Amino acid sequence: MRTAIIYGVLILMALVAGSVSALWMSGLLGKGTLSGFATLNVNGWRSDPSIGATSASAYTRARVARHGLLALAKEEAIYFTRTTDDTGDPLLERCTYQLSGGPQDAFWWSITLYDAESRLPMNEDAHLSIDATSVGNTSDWTATISPTQPDNGYWLSSRSAGQFDLTLRLYRPAVDVIEDPDNRLFAPQVRRIGCGDPA
């Protein structure tokens, strides 16, 4: 009887350990991003080319379901996520950043700000993304990421975002970008300007 109880507890613990580790690794527990199993890292912008594809690993598939449900396969769109500034520090609502980039070899691109729950941060600023239709796709551009609107220029609002990340979408990317993103992606830079006091 005692042995049966011990084995029962052991199996229960194994079930919990296996399930919790799977949920953690797929991003359902704790913080996670779409790029948790990124195989690509272009100057801090991380991606997994198997997103949306039937060839995706079980881990990628689970993580996409949690953090990027209904993502498209790379032939139609590629997604890069950035969680840190150029010095490697996490992106925080209380800090101000300069985001700078240039044209992308794609039909259309955008950069959108999401909170740690992979949601649009709960504010009413209507400045949660910039895209090729707003800044153009022929020359370099800069934008400010901050919780309050700057006096001028393009703005991404981080108000109510806490610790956040940025997702770069390229729709209908050129084949060269898919095959050689290290050299063909114009990876935007994220420079921290300064930080306010912690809330």
Asked if residue 18 binds another protein (CB under 8 A), the reply is yes
State which residue, 29 or 193, has the beta carbon closest to another protein.
Answer: 29
Q: How far is the CB of 16 from another protein (least distance, A)?
A: 8
Interface residue with another protein among 1, 5, 122, 199 (CB under 8 A) is 122
Asked if residue 67 binds another protein (CB under 8 A), the reply is yes
Q: How far is the CB of 87 from another protein (least distance, A)?
A: 25
Tell me the two tokens of residue 71: 């993502």
Tell me the two tokens of residue 11: 């199996």
Distance CA 189, CA 134 (A): 18
Which stretch, 20-28, 137-145, 148-156, 185-193, contacts another protein (CB under 8 A)? 20-28
State which residue, 23 or 86, has the beta carbon closest to another protein.
Answer: 23
Give the Cβ contact number of residue 193 at 10 Å. Answer: 12
Scan for tokens 């770069």, then name that residue: 168
State which residue, 117 or 180, has the beta carbon closest to another protein.
Answer: 117
Q: Is 133 exposed, middle or buried (0-12, 13-18, 19+ CB in 10 A)?
A: exposed
Distance CA 77, CA 175 (A): 11
Contact between residue 101 and residue 82 where contact means Cβ atoms under 8 Å apart? no
Contact between residue 57 and residue 37 where contact means Cβ atoms under 8 Å apart? yes
Asked if residue 121 binds another protein (CB under 8 A), the reply is yes
Binding-site ranges for another protein (CB under 8 A): 6-7, 10-11, 13-19, 21-23, 25-26, 28, 34, 52-54, 56, 58-59, 61-62, 64-73, 75-76, 107-108, 110, 112, 114, 117-124, 126, 128-129, 131, 133-134, 167, 169, 171-172
